[in-house]
Structure 1
């Protein structure tokens, strides 16, 4: 018969004596408990960390409620699977922009593009609008809350100066009769930091570019541009051709394609440290419409565009000609511009007949 004094059940009821002490749990069971608690701690810490980053990045974003400001007096919202986004490059959110040629005492949109994403999100067209294009500007509310009456002739980028994002969108919609689904504004100082976080962008110049105003000094050849050089390139006017805005737009378009190639090549998701730095910098540089004002909404929007590479993006400049009343300004060519807007509204490719000689500048091929 077994000795009951050694039985676990017998020993479990004893209060004293050496033979009544509990045995130590097996090492295996203790190890399992430690592993379980460690796993739980990692999960909780990771969740808290992700939550912190989510709120941090959300806090970086600025947004404008375009829909509420403009109300119902807008072009129809055509639901054909395509999207139209007004993209502006501005100097409005940081004082560092001044050294790149900002006009004193103003906030301006130096760069304006309408990005049309075709149904299926496999290709896109980009229409750049020269900032010195003379267009009708509708009535807008100024950034100070006052009424600014409509005018028949205004320089395009003055809409942003007068009424910010809302007036810029209203002006574009009046020009195109196309409702903008979204609005994205990129601050130039933030753009510079973002390029540095990406590790620079490689471009090849076929001619020398020298512009003291934009701090740019490039000889012909292949260059890895850092943030400051990249910002100089997209803002230079005097460095190429006749110094017009049309030449600068050509450089911007070539740079954007190089930037798309760079983003695809660096493998962001294999480097959490790099991804964090880029996300932090990018969200600080952006102002969006209210429908894109959270990280998850912005991430979902960007995810819908990830299949579009530089080879899938058709980039043009709004067909313009010299303004008969001001040789330093341009005006849209009525027939050609109408063809562009009608094509985008119908989600069709822009016809070549709409472009003609208006796309040719002496900055063609300077950057490739």
Structure 2
């Protein structure tokens, strides 16, 4: 594992390559929402990389007493998929899922719901490194210890979810998509400029190209590298909390640009993104879900961040920083957000 930072120890800006959020995956859903013909979807989906995981609920951390035949209709109305942003460039076991979202296709209310899970939350799992011998560790570390399947299992167990599939991407894919839509307009503050540029330089150096830096603050059109750099900032404002806000800003701007594209442009954009996607869903599953999205004309996006305000805290275990969270209140908030009036303690324990 990479270095763990102790209390009062400042983290370097560029030592660790950070993966971005899984916004690129949403491009698939957006593309379907805006009506790409079936044959175009089917052709593009052949570019997706697939991987397999267990289909045993117990091995995926799904509580069969909570999700059973009695609430099968509820499970059909609300489809949950884990979206992960990982550092796909890593050649060792140090890669982490730095960004995690639960994407819910809400067929009952015709919505797409995105629930961000903050990477530093302390969760119940087998500890490693400084947490060796304990049954706790940081959520972001699950991917390094057991890849996507362990991350999915840990989220199901800690948040009482029923997720059976995941999609993972890297931020190089997002960079391409943003460039494909012509960039996004973002209001960058003077404090954010140097951090944004540091990430631009990092990626440009890896790609061996000349970096195009942001030279001033204010509302401006950012290209792919710049927008990715903006969304990775976590050292200005409220740390990782504000980083998730920046990520949602980039997503919103992408939605605005994509909604104005014609079918040919949108099809090309999806074609650019899909080779960077890995998923446990097969093509038939995706097509089936796509039809539901199309037929119900689902195009509204609601968002939530876990932990919620007022129910999180800074804690240290063995001098290592973690984000503490009140489980009862946060799990209840997450389930109410996803299931709305269908949530109750009896139907989803």
Instruction: Say whether the fold is shared (TM-score over 0.5).
Output: yes
Question: What does residue range 173-322 of structure 1 map to in structure 2 within 5 Å?
Answer: 173-205=156-188, 208-209=191-192, 210-211=194-195, 212-215=197-200, 217=214, 219-238=216-235, 240-241=236-237, 244-267=239-262, 269=263, 272=264, 274-292=265-283, 296-297=287-288, 299-300=290-291, 303=294, 307-309=298-300, 312-319=301-308, 320-322=312-314
CA RMSD of aligned residues (A): 3.5
Q: Secondary structure at the match of 2:199?
A: coil
Structure 1: distance between partners of 2:125 and 2:223: 37
* Larger mean Cα displacement after TM superposition, 340-349 or 128-137: 340-349
Name the CA shift for 1:191/1:134 in 2 (closer, same or farther; >3 Å).
same
Q: Secondary structure at the match of 2:245?
A: helix
Structure 1: distance between partners of 2:285 and 2:111: 25
- Give the structure 2 partner of residue 361 of structure 1: none
Structure 1: distance between partners of 2:162 and 2:47: 27
Aligned residues, how many? 276
Q: Which runs of 5+ in 2 are unaligned?
A: 1-37, 201-212, 344-349
- Does the 8 Å contact 1:54/1:295 carry over to 2? no
Name the CA shift for 1:108/1:218 in 2 (closer, same or farther; >3 Å).
farther
How far the C-alpha of 1:173 sits from its partner, in A, is: 0.2
- Does the 8 Å contact 1:128/1:316 carry over to 2? yes
Structure 2 length as normaliser, TM-score?
0.67
Structure 2: distance between partners of 1:132 and 1:58: 33
How far the C-alpha of 1:300 sits from its partner, in A, is: 3.4
Q: 1:86 aligns with which of 82, 85, 92?
A: 82
CA offset digits 1:14-43 (Å, max 9, x no partner)? xxxxxxxxxxxxxxxxxxxxxxxxxxxxxx
Question: What does residue range 1-368 of structure 1 map to in structure 2 within 5 Å?
Answer: 54=42, 57-68=44-55, 74-75=62-63, 76=67, 78-80=72-74, 81-92=77-88, 94=89, 106-137=94-125, 152-205=135-188, 208-209=191-192, 210-211=194-195, 212-215=197-200, 217=214, 219-238=216-235, 240-241=236-237, 244-267=239-262, 269=263, 272=264, 274-292=265-283, 296-297=287-288, 299-300=290-291, 303=294, 307-309=298-300, 312-319=301-308, 320-325=312-317, 326=319, 328-344=321-337, 346-348=339-341
Structure 1: distance between partners of 2:136 and 2:253: 35
Q: Which runs of 5+ in 1 are unaligned?
A: 1-49, 99-103, 140-148, 351-368
